[in-house]
Amino acid sequence: MLDSMPLKPVHTEAKPCQLHPQSMCPAFGSMRILSRLEGAHPVMATDTGCLYGLTFVTHFYGARKSILAPQLGTAELMAGEVVEGTRAAIEVAAREPGCKLIPVVSLCVAETAGLPEEMLPKRVGNADVVLVRVPAYSIHSHPEAKDVALAALLRRLGDQTGQKEQKTLVLLGEVFPADPLAIDHLLRRMGVKKTITLPGRSIDDLRLAARAGALALLHPFYKETTALFRSWDIPVVGGAPVGVSGSYAWLKAVGSLLGLDPKLVSEVAEEERAKAEAMMAAQPLSGRILVTGYEGSELAYARMLVEAGAEVPYVSTSIGQDPLVLPDELWLRARGTQEVVYRKSLEDDVAALDKYPPDLVLGTTPFCSMAKARGIPAMYFTNQLASRPFFLSVGMAATLGFIRQTLERGERYQWMQDFFAEETSEEAAHA
Amino acid sequence: MPKVIRDLSDTSSYWAAVWTLCALPDVHVICDAPIGCFNLVATAVPDYTDAIPHLENITPSVIREEEVGGSGTATAVQRTYENLREAGLLDGKHAIVVSTAESEMIGSDLSDLVRQLQPGTRFFHSESLSEDEWVGRDRVLAWLWENYGSTAATQAEPGLVNIIGPTYGCFNSPADLHEVRRLIEGAGGRINMVFPMEARLADIAKLSKAQVNVVLYHEFGHTLAEALGKPWLHAPMGMSGTTAFIHKLGRLLGTEEQAAAFIKQEKQTTLQAVWDLWRGPQGDWFGTTNVGIVACGTYVDGLRAFLGDELGMPITFSASRPLRSGEMDNEKVRQQLHTAAPAFVFGSINEKIYLSEAGAKYTNFIPAAFPGPIVRRSVGTPFMGYRGAVYVLQEIVNRLYEALFNFLPVDTAYTQVRGSVNGANGTASVSQSDKPGNLPWQAEAKTLLDKALDKLPFLTRISASRELQMQIESLAFAREMVEVTPELVEEELASRFK
């Protein structure tokens, strides 16, 4: 069937030790960005267990937004009512006050049963209906599902008609709200007219993005979205404004791509570099850190930590290897990082914990709990890092300050481990 | 018309199977699942419902495109099994393979496969495409007994009592379990087993040693209790319900006197708080403080009995999850909360979202059900038993105090200087100081205001009335109007009660 996700076998390496893959349910990535759009009312086509779990995490991390779904149990599946049910849910969504967009999120069970796009309406009332296919069995990680969802929205809503806005830059990546402000402020000083941050809260930004002068990737996993911008003849700035060297290179690259005044660009870039260098000199890091989240932005964080003086022997992430991540991987490998693991499992991370006993772990909840059980400071990457300013010197100061503070709290972790010593030794015997 | 779900309240029987089986530390579950069904049930949700970092005794087969595309999941499950065995993770464990909606969707029945694995490995078909979590828990508990316990059943010993339930994902269960255990011991019983939480599968035959079984929830566990063939009771809520429970348990155990003495002592100690609050000024509020309840049927019945029948609080609406026939579904609950929210709403995050949508700031939300992130690991917050009655009542009265506090005026001089709108209810943003006396209200304008106030919870009505009046009059002053018109009232109400 043309409309469903092609079922290509994915080559998987035989790694017998990989038992517990680490990612949020991939589809969550799409729910996260779709539920946050103002005026969007998502419909999820899936079974009840999936619906419950994804609604739960969406209501925790996404938005306080009611979510609709067709009932898809044995009876409905046997009767072939996937389309009918989804259409009914779309009708209800369209009646929500101010509804402008109905993303239909099609998940494992609905994808397996088949949900042909041409059987769904394109528009109901004032709302565009956009189908987003994110079966967990083929997307593999939630950062990549963000890409799939955003690309689906842009393909439908991106509006190329009208004047091209040469000096408008699209910033691509879900970042802390203060980050785009800081970036925008600096870019305007260089002569940029406007920035648009995607994914964001505004549907109009999606339309406008198609007429931008260039695209800057803040996160490296937006493959489909990047390809779409290229197909619109919008050039792409690689890298991201991270750390001293990264920020400098990025600002220069934006300047040359948008044809800004080179003198002005150099001035701003150098001033920013000086600020960043001063900040790094003022609060250098020391210690060994394992960066093992599943947000897809781990390599960039590792890079900043290394620049600030930390030793990062091991980095792992949930996303697959890709040319977009390669520059960061090469940069890290050239500066002492010994392992970079993509599509990682808990077992990969635990092996690294044994191999490179760290002073701090930035990881997933299962892995962090294991590190803490050993008395090692550990933070859930998703909650603590992905939700803090990170970019340019301002973001760097916030992130490094936090890391340094956590490194200094090592004693607390040790004290707690000692206090619960019986329990943890039991656990160790267990593992 | 196909059925449309709004904000699902009950998860599937696959979740029930995992949350029940993983409570047994000597079980290892292989879930025949794509990565998402593993992550959500084992980490992402229990992080925030059960306050645990993750479930350690579960491993996914990781269904990918090739399995969905035709190869089936048997190879992936077998590979997972062998890797687990090689890693030593199955030592001393009972391996149980559990189906998921997706594996059922592609017709993966692994009953034959498990026979080729280590003896004792079993397949649990979770029926995830058709059953909810409550039916699922009931079925898996009975299945465990049938497959691992029934043949080794022994004689009952006098005085021993089992508690059946909870599993993971049962709202507030540590506190309720703690209280029910206390009640059983107070009535003269001794705890034999708490199953599945606190038990090992290897000990399941021991369930037969109890003289009486206490089933924690009305939603599940009864089939296992029936299979055990001994007298059984549901755990109680409310003062009379709990008293009846203790009497009955005493009769079943032959410890009537001890049970009666326990009740007497409880009335003088634990329950004294209810008696004191009833006799004090707090009790006067109960008759005019209305309540809505959305929770599992056990809590709905228990809260109705305690708050409604015993304390005389008006129960505006109640609806069980899973839905009983004739009750309000989420769509109807949402409409109700958008139009007239009561003073208190017991519920899940769904009700909390509907209240935020409605801007129902005069309503107090009390968590009483999943879904929703909440830590309930303290044993001091029960809803069940005598301590449950005290805790729930204490919670309500404290929130009434909070409501009263929030409606006391703050001198606007302070908040204006700081440009603050934090005054919880927004009253602070209204300036009274430069207002030259009262404005006349047209009769129809007053009627509109009264109608809007009628919809609000009683206790907060006086303060809300003052606040609304001030807002409307300031607006009138700002527009240099000589009297308050119905149009102006409508405009202000529309902006506040969307």
pLDDT surpassing 80 at residue B498: no
- In chain A, residues 348-367 whose CB comes closer than 8 Å to chain B: 364-366
CA distance A275 to chain B (A): 33
β partners of residue A237: A216
- Best of A30, A56, A427 to mutate (most B CBs within 10 Å, chain B): A56
Task: Extract the runs of DSSP E, i.e. beta strands, from A81-203.
Answer: 101-106, 123-124, 127-133, 165-172, 194-198
d(CA A334, CA B43): 35
Nearest residue, CB atoms, B106 vs list A53, A92, A112: A112
Question: pLDDT band at residue B464, thresholds of 50, 70 and 90?
Answer: confident
In chain A, which residues have their Cβ closer than 8 Å to the Cβ of B373? 56, 60
Provide the shortest C-alpha distance from residue A405 to chain B (in Å): 23
Q: Spell out which residues of chain A touch residue B349, defining contact as CB-CB under 8 Å.
A: 56, 59
Structure tokens, A371: 């590190």
Nearest by CB to B7, which of A57, A67, A70? A67
Give yes or no on whether B272-405 and B412-496 have one common fold: no
End-to-end Cα separation, chain A, in angstroms: 45
Q: Tokens 């197909």 sit at which residue?
A: A231
Q: Is B391 within 8 Å of B380 (Cβ atoms)?
A: yes
Subunit contact A71:B69, Cβ cutoff 8 A: no
- In chain A, the residue whose alpha carbon lies closest to the alpha carbon of B49 is A56
Domain spanning B150-264: which superfamily?
A: Nitrogenase molybdenum iron protein domain (3.40.50.1980)
pLDDT in tens, B343-392: 999 999 999 999 999 999 889 999 999 999 999 999 999 999 999 999 99
Partner-chain contact A85 B4, CB within 8 Å: yes
Return the residue in B1, B14, B31, B40 with the most chain A beta carbons within 10 A, the one to mutate for interface testing: B40
Domain boundaries, chain B: 13-131, 150-264, 272-405, 412-496
A19 vs B4, B84, B498: nearest CB: B84
CB atoms B65 and A8 under 8 Å: yes
Q: Say what the pLDDT of residue A427 is.
A: 59
Say what the pLDDT of residue B174 is. Answer: 98
Structure confidence at residue A424 (pLDDT):
52
Residue of chain A nearest B61, judged by CA positions: A19
Write down the pLDDT at residue A425: 57
Q: Do B47 and A69 touch (CB under 8 A)?
A: no
What is chain B's mean pLDDT, rounded? Answer: 92
Residues of chain A neighbouring B132 (CB-CB closer than 8 A): 48
Q: Is there a contact between A9 and B102 if contact means CB atoms under 8 Å apart?
A: no
Could you say which of 1.10.287.3510, 1.10.287.90, 3.40.50.1980, 3.40.50.920 is the CATH number of the domain covering A26-146? 3.40.50.1980
Q: Is A187 an 8 Å CB contact of chain B? A: no
Q: Which residues of B touch A423 (CB under 8 A)?
A: none
User: Cβ of A383 under 8 Å from any chain B Cβ?
Assistant: no
Identify the CA nearest to B232 among candidates B195, B199, B202.
Answer: B195
Fold category of B13-131 in CATH: Rossmann fold (3.40.50)
Chain B residues whose beta carbon lies within 8 Å of the beta carbon of residue A345: none
Query: Is the pLDDT reported for residue B430 higher than 50?
Result: no
Q: Do B80 and A8 touch (CB under 8 A)?
A: no
Measuring CA to CA, which residue among B100, B124, B152 is closest to residue B28? Answer: B124
Question: How far B368 CA lies from chain A's nearest CA (Å)?
Answer: 16
Looking at beta carbons, which residues of chain A come within 8 Å of B53? 365-366, 368-369
The Cα A144–Cα A222 span in angstroms is: 7
With CB atoms and an 8 Å threshold, state whether B43 touches A135.
no
- Which residue from A54, A56, A369, A386 is spatially nearest to B373, judged by alpha carbons? A56
CA-to-CA distance for B106 and B31, rounded, in angstroms? 15
Nearest residue in chain A measured CA to CA from B127: A74
Place of tokens 């697959």: A320
**Is the CB of residue A42 less than 8 Å away from at least one CB of chain B?**
no
Q: How confident is the model at residue B428 (pLDDT cuts 50, 70, 90)?
A: very low
Quickly count: other Cβ atoms within 10 Å of residue A159's Cβ. Answer: 14
Residue of A nearest to B88 (CA): A431
Interchain proximity B4–A77, CB inside 8 Å: no
Q: How far apart are the CA of A141 and the nearest CA of chain B, in angstroms? A: 9
Q: What is the pLDDT of residue B423?
A: 39
Give yes or no for a contact between B100 and B130, defined as CB atoms under 8 angstroms apart.
no
Nearest by CB to residue A71, choosing from B2, B10, B356, is: B2
For the stretch B153-208, pLDDT in tens is: 889 999 999 999 999 999 999 999 999 999 999 999 999 999 999 999 999 999 99
For chain A, list residues with pLDDT below 70.
Answer: 1-16, 422-431
pTM: 0.91
Establish if A13 touches chain B: CB-CB under 8 angstroms.
no
B39 → closest Cβ in A23, A74, A109: A23
Residues of chain A with CATH 3.40.50.1980: 26-146, 165-279, 284-430
First and final C-alpha spacing in chain B: 29
Q: What is the pLDDT of residues A201-235, one digit of tens each?
A: 999 999 999 999 999 999 999 999 999 999 999 99
B-interface mutation test, from A5, A25, A77, A139, most B Cβ less than 10 A away? A25
Q: Which of A216, A298, A96 minimizes the C-alpha distance to B335? A: A96
**Which H or E run includes B81?**
helix B74-86
Q: Dig out the tokens for B234 from the structure.
A: 């549901």
Nearest C-alpha of chain B: how many angstroms from A337? 28
A284-430 CATH? 3.40.50.1980
Per the CB < 8 A criterion, the answer to whether B36 and A108 are in contact is: yes
The CA-atom distances, in angstroms, between B38 and each of A16, A212, B67 are: 18, 40, 16
B229: alpha, beta or left, given left = phi > 0 and alpha = psi -120 to 50?
left
Which chain A residue's Cα is nearest to B81? A19
CB spacing of B14 vs A49 below 8 angstroms: yes
What is the model's pLDDT at position B434? Answer: 54
Tokens of B242: 């709990």
The residue-averaged pLDDT of B93-107 equals 95
pLDDT at B431 over 80: no
Residues of A in contact with B354 (CB under 8 A): 66
Topology of the domain comprising B272-405 = Rossmann fold (3.40.50)
From A27, A68, A97, residue closest to B5, measured CB to CB: A68
CA A283/CA A275 separation, integer angstroms: 12
- The answer to whether the Cβ–Cβ distance between A64 and B357 falls below 8 Å is yes
Q: What is the pLDDT of residue B336?
A: 97
The complex's ipTM? 0.91
Task: Confirm or reject contact between A21 and chain B (CB < 8 A).
Answer: yes
Other C-beta atoms lying within 10 Å of the C-beta of residue B269: 10
Determine, for residues A71 and B83 on separate chains, whether the beta-carbon distance falls below 8 Å. no
CA dist B379 and B384 (Å) reads 11
- Could you please report the per-residue DSSP string of B322-334? SPPTTS--HHHHH
- Which chain A positions have a beta carbon within 8 Å of B12's beta carbon? 47-49, 52
Architecture of the domain defined by B412-496: Orthogonal Bundle (1.10)
**Chain A residues lying within 8 Å of B35, measured CB to CB:** 21, 23, 25-26, 136-137, 140
**pLDDT value, residue A423:** 56
| Chain B residues near residue A17 by CB distance under 8 angstroms | 83, 87
Q: What is the CATH number of domain A165-279?
A: 3.40.50.1980
Taking only residues 142 to 171 of chain A, the set having a beta carbon closer than 8 angstroms to any beta carbon of chain B reads none
Question: pLDDT value at position B436?
Answer: 60
Q: What are phi and psi of A236, to 5 degrees?
A: -120, 135
Which residues of chain A does B11 touch, with a Cβ-Cβ cutoff of 8 Å? 48-49, 52-53
Q: Do B40 and A66 touch (CB under 8 A)?
A: no
Structure tokens at B379: 């044993």
Question: Which band of pLDDT confidence, cut at 50, 70 and 90, is reported for residue B417?
Answer: low
